[in-house]
Amino acid sequence: MAWTEPRSRPDPDPEPEPEPEPEPESKLTPYNLRTQTSATTLPSTIPPVQPPVVLPLLVLLLTAFADLCAAGPPQPARPPLLSGQPFIIFWGIPDSSCPGRPDVRSLGMEREGRVAVFYEDTLGNYPYFVDKDTPVNGGVPQYTRLDNHLQKTQQDLEAALPAPRYLGLGVLRWSEWAPQWSRNREKKTMYLEASRNLLKAFFPNWTPEEVERWSQVDFEAAAQSVMTETLREVKRLRPKALWGVSPYPSCYSGDPAQTTLANYTGQCPPAEMTLNDELLWLWKRSSALYPLLTLEKLQTDLVSTIGESAAMGTAGVVIWERSETKTERECQDLAEFVRKVLGPYSINVTTATRLCSASLCQGKGRCVRQNPESSAYLHLPLPVDVVEKVTEKAEAAKATDQPDADTKPAEPAEPAEPDPAETWKKDFQCQWYKTADGDVADQQSPKDGASVGGTTEENAGDVAGTTTASTVASATKGASVPELRGSSSPGTAGLLELPTDGGTHPLSAPHLTVLLLLVAGSRCLEP
**Each residue's pLDDT tens digit, 83-92:** 888 998 888 7
- 164: confidence class by pLDDT, cuts 50, 70, 90: very high
pLDDT band (50, 70, 90) for residue 153: very high
What is the pTM (predicted TM-score) of this model? 0.66
Question: Of 72-81, 144-153, 472-481, where does mean pLDDT reach its minimum?
Answer: 472-481
- How far is it, in rounded angstroms, from Cα 229 to Cα 373? 38
Highest mean pLDDT among 234-238, 319-323, 399-403, 499-503: 234-238
What's phi and psi for 317, nearest 5 deg?
A: -135, 160
Average pLDDT over all residues of the chain? 69
pLDDT of the residue at 395? 55
Which tens digit of pLDDT belongs to each residue from 244-253? 998 888 876 5
The strand ranges marked E within 382-508 are: 428-432
pLDDT at 321 over 60: yes
| 348 closest CA partner among 377, 315, 305, 320 | 377
In this structure, the number of other CB atoms found within 10 A of the CB of residue 464 comes to 11
Residue 406 pLDDT: 46
pLDDT of residue 46: 31
Which carries the bigger pLDDT value, residue 436 or residue 273?
273
pLDDT given for residue 317 in this prediction: 77
Identity at 150, one-letter amino acid code = L
**b/e map 416-446, b = 16+ CB within 10 Å:** eeebbbbbbbebbbbbbbbbeeeeebeeebb
Name the amino acid, one letter, at 148.
N
Lowest mean pLDDT among 41-50, 188-197, 399-408, 463-472: 463-472
Inter-helix orientation angle 343-361/420-427, to 10°: 70
Q: Pick 139 or 335 by higher pLDDT.
A: 139
Select the more confidently predicted residue: 61 or 12: 61
d(CA 37, CA 422): 25
What are the φ/ψ torsions at residue 169 (nearest 5 degrees)?
-105, 135
Q: Tell me the pLDDT band of 341, cut-offs 50, 70 and 90.
A: confident
Higher pLDDT, 328 or 365: 365
Strands in 23-96 per DSSP E? 32-33, 53-62, 88-91
Query: For residue 162, how many other CB atoms are within 10 A of its CB?
Result: 11
Q: What is the mean pLDDT of residues 213-239?
A: 98
What is the model's pLDDT at position 327? 80
Domains of the chain: 34-404+418-453+462-526 (3.20.20.70)
The residue with greater pLDDT, 113 or 321, is: 113
Residue 209, phi-psi category: left (phi > 0), alpha (psi -120 to 50), beta (remainder): alpha
Query: What is the reported pLDDT for 488?
Result: 37
The pLDDT tens digits of the residues spanning 386-404 come to: 445 555 555 555 555 555 4
CB 379 within 8 A of CB 352: yes
Q: How far apart are the first and last CA of the chain?
A: 38
- Say how far apart CA 351 and CA 85 lie, in whole Å: 9
Mean pLDDT of the 62-76 span: 51
Of 141, 172, 166, 224, residue with least CA distance to 6: 172
Position 227 confidence tier, pLDDT thresholds 50, 70, 90: very high
pLDDT at residue 29 in the model: 31
Residues 6+ apart with CB under 8 A from 137: 125, 126, 127, 128, 143, 144, 149
pLDDT of residue 145: 97
Label the pairing between strands 128-131 and 134-136: antiparallel
Residues near 415 by beta carbon (within 8 Å), at least 6 away in sequence: none
State residue 301's pLDDT score.
72
In this prediction, residue 293 has a pLDDT band, given cuts at 50, 70 and 90, of low
Cα–Cα distance between 525 and 527 in angstroms, integer?
Answer: 7
Whole-number percent of the chain with pLDDT over 70: 55
In 330-462, the DSSP E strands lie at 365-369, 428-432
pLDDT band at residue 77 under the 50/70/90 scheme: confident
DSSP class of residue 380 equals -
pLDDT at position 306 is: 84
Rounded percentage of the chain residues whose pLDDT exceeds 90: 33
Burial track 330-352 (b if 16+ CB lie within 10 A, e otherwise): ebebbebbbebbbbbbbbbbbbb
Which of 1-10, 33-42, 214-223 has the weakest average pLDDT? 33-42
pLDDT in tens, 110-128: 876 788 889 999 999 999 9
Q: How far apart are CA 316 and CA 90, in angstroms?
A: 8
Pairwise CA distance, residues 332 & 335, whole Å: 5
pLDDT band at 68 (very low <50, low <70, confident <90, very high): very low
pLDDT for 466 = 28
Q: Please give the pLDDT value at position 120.
A: 93
Q: What letter represents residue 254's amino acid?
A: G
How many angstroms separate the CA atoms of 237 and 346, rounded? 33
